[in-house]
């Protein structure tokens, strides 16, 4: 039975995770459009979106053939690996061990690269390829997030709506501002998404092996709280250890 907790957590995870990926793709497409022209930017992005649709239509129906417990187990493992990768980087960024991700810096880097390629005869091709790769790579991650957080509870449609809302929001705000979305706290979002995806991974891995969670879907909130406290402790310990690591032995 679908509960409000499962529905809200699924849509939230899909929306926030997709928001991060769409912002990154939008930054590259915007750089291509402004530096070169909008024609290769839109053609590259459009081809990538078309390929993503084909992949979803081709492989999406196969998911229904997988037994639910096997699906929960596989999705749980994948979400753990995926979420913990995001969470690890978010912890290291929060502790100041690795630099924060900066969309303005990424935009400047991409525009500089495209400007240096402008003199080449195949400049439009390279610009379109940059937009294509950005949308395809980030889009694949969005598709994975939607399938992962939605499939195990039969909420793929709602997860898809959460991702669609993220896409629409970024497109509207980006079109209005016509510049990188530097005001979105992307690193904080990545921390939150890492926590949510890892929580889903733990929850569904448990269900996949037949565990009975106390409180059913409400156990997700407990797992999220435990992971949140553990991550906060990890950030604190990493901040203390960072200066020590830089001292000569």
**Residue reference for tokens 């950005």:** 134
Distances (CA, A) of 123 to 36, 65, 120, 159, 184: 8, 45, 5, 38, 31
Average pLDDT, the chain: 79
Does 21 have pLDDT greater than 80? yes
Q: What is the pTM (predicted TM-score) of this model?
A: 0.69
Does 180 have pLDDT greater than 70? no
Determine the Cα–Cα distance for residues 159 and 121; give it in Å rounded to an integer. 43
Structure tokens at 158: 């709602």
Query: 50-70, pLDDT tens digit by residue?
Result: 998 888 887 777 776 777 778
pLDDT at 245: 47
Of residues 180 and 90, the one with the higher pLDDT is 90
Q: Is 126 exposed, middle or buried (0-12, 13-18, 19+ CB in 10 A)?
A: middle
Does 199 have pLDDT greater than 60? yes
Of residues 20 and 184, the one with the higher pLDDT is 20
Tell me what the mean pLDDT of segment 155-179 comes to. Answer: 82
Of residues 232 and 33, the one with the higher pLDDT is 232
Does 146 have pLDDT greater than 90? no
Of 110, 88, 90, the closest CA to residue 185 belongs to 90
- Are 213 and 91 in contact, with CB atoms under 8 Å apart? no
Tell me what the mean pLDDT of segment 104-116 comes to. Answer: 65
């Amino acid at each position: 039975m679908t509960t409000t907790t499962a529905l809200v957590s699924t849509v939230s995870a899909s929306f926030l995770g997709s928001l991060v990926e769409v912002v990154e793709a939008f930054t590259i497409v915007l750089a291509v459009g402004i530096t070169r022209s909008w024609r290769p930017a839109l053609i590259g992005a459009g081809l990538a979106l078309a390929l993503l649709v084909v992949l979803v239509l081709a492989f999406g129906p196969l998911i229904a053939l997988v037994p639910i417990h096997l699906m929960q187990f596989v999705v749980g493992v994948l979400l753990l690996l995926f979420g913990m990768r995001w969470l690890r980087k978010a912890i290291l960024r929060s502790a100041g061990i690795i630099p924060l991700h900066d969309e303005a810096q990424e935009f400047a880097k991409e525009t500089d690269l495209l400007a240096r390629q402008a003199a080449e005869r195949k400049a439009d091709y390279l610009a379109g390829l940059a937009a294509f790769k950005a949308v395809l790579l980030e889009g694949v991650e969005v598709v994975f997030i939607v399938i992962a957080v939605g499939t195990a509870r039969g909420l793929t449609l709602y997860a898809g709506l959460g991702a669609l809302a993220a896409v629409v929001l970024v497109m509207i705000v980006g079109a209005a501002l016509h510049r990188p979305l530097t005001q979105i706290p992307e690193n904080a979002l990545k921390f939150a998404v890492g926590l949510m995806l890892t929580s889903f991974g733990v929850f569904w891995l448990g269900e996949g092996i037949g565990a009975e969670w106390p409180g059913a879907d409400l156990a997700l909130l407990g797992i999220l709280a435990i992971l949140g406290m553990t991550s906060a402790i990890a950030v604190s310990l990493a901040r203390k250890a960072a200066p020590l690591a830089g001292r000569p032995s």
